């Protein structure tokens, strides 16, 4: 188990050494586990985790997956099902080492997909809810076109910017970009996991998201057995936590408070 009081450190999951940090108190309620986007990492959450801990009163935990931030190098090329593998093979080991009684998974982009896949594929009664920012469960032509443009634009300048946060920026970029631009990825679709969700979800989507549309959100609304709250944000692109931080924090605070109140009202043993 990690030393929460240390505030940051290293853990091993999926055979890789991963950096982590935490905020708030582990025993305040369900720990919010942040899962970053396809080019994100621990440092790129910036001050959002601390603000999230203050807004909700809950403990917040974030880590960098392999091939991101200062964590170990990942195995390249990424397979098409790399998000499924992260949910099935790596995230359970991370949660075990955090050592909390209950969790709320909160992901952005690829991280949102990993959160949804974990909740839909892995039977883990510690997970009480999920918050998904800009999730994708199938490909859309406009998103693939944007990823292709990013691939064409990648060069020394972008690598230098990414190098401030990732120890091997080219490997980080290529792992993500090459997987999405694999011709076979056009048929990628994991929306079936929604049919198996049994915990409440909050889905947050920017209406101006350049990588995905409200069709992704509609899939959760129409297919989930469990309750789904939706926050559609105007003047917001692919990163709601930075484009509309106040609205995101308010929505997550309300979602977590309602979730905890509902659980507290349940008869013992339910």
Average pLDDT of the chain to the nearest whole number? 96
Flag whether 126 is in a domain. yes
Q: How far apart are CA 91 and CA 212, in angstroms?
A: 24
* pTM value surpassing 0.75: yes
Split into its structural domains, the chain has a count of 1
Q: What is the pLDDT of residue 265?
A: 77
Predicted confidence (pLDDT) per residue in 209-243, tens digit: 999 999 999 999 999 999 999 999 999 999 999 99
Could you tell me if 106 and 51 are in contact, meaning their C-beta atoms sit under 8 angstroms apart? no
Beta bridge partners of 19: 10
Q: How far apart are CA 218 and CA 150, in angstroms?
A: 27
Flag whether 37 is in a domain. yes
CATH of the domain at 171: 3.40.50.1820
pLDDT at 269 over 60: no
For residues 26, 39, 190, 87, the Cα torsion angle rounded to the nearest 10 degrees is -40
Predicted confidence (pLDDT) per residue in 20-78, tens digit: 999 999 999 999 999 999 999 999 999 999 999 999 999 999 999 999 999 999 999 99
Provide the residue range defining the domain that includes 46.
4-263
Predicted confidence (pLDDT) per residue in 246-268, tens digit: 999 999 999 999 999 977 777 66
């Amino acid at each position: 188990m990690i030393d929460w009081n240390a505030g940051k450190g290293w853990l091993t999951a999926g055979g890789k050494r991963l950096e982590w940090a935490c905020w708030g108190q582990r025993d305040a309620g369900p720990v919010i586990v942040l899962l970053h986007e396809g080019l994100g990492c621990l440092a790129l959450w910036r001050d959002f985790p601390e603000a999230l801990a203050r807004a909700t009163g809950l403990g917040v935990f974030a880590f960098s997956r392999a091939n991101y931030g200062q964590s170990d190098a990942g195995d390249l090329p990424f397979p098409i099902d790399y998000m499924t593998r992260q949910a099935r093979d790596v995230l359970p080991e991370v949660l075990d080492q955090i050592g909390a009684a209950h969790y709320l998974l909160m992901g952005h982009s690829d991280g949102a997909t990993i959160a949804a896949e974990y909740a839909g594929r892995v039977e883990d009664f510690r997970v009480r809810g999920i918050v998904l920012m800009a999730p994708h469960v199938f490909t859309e032509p406009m998103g693939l076109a944007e990823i292709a443009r990013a691939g064409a634009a990648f060069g020394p300048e972008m690598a230098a910017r990414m190098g401030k946060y990732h120890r091997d920026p080219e490997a980080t970029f290529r792992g993500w970009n090459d997987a999405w631009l694999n011709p076979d990825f056009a048929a990628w679709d994991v929306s079936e996991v929604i049919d198996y969700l049994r915990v409440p979800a909050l889905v947050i989507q920017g209406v101006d998201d350049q990588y995905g549309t409200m069709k992704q959100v509609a899939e959760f609304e129409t297919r989930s057995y469990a309750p789904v709250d939706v926050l559609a944000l105007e003047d917001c692109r692919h990163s709601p936590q930075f484009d509309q931080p106040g609205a995101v924090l308010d929505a997550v605070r309300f979602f977590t408070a309602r979730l905890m109140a509902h659980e507290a009202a349940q008869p013992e043993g339910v």
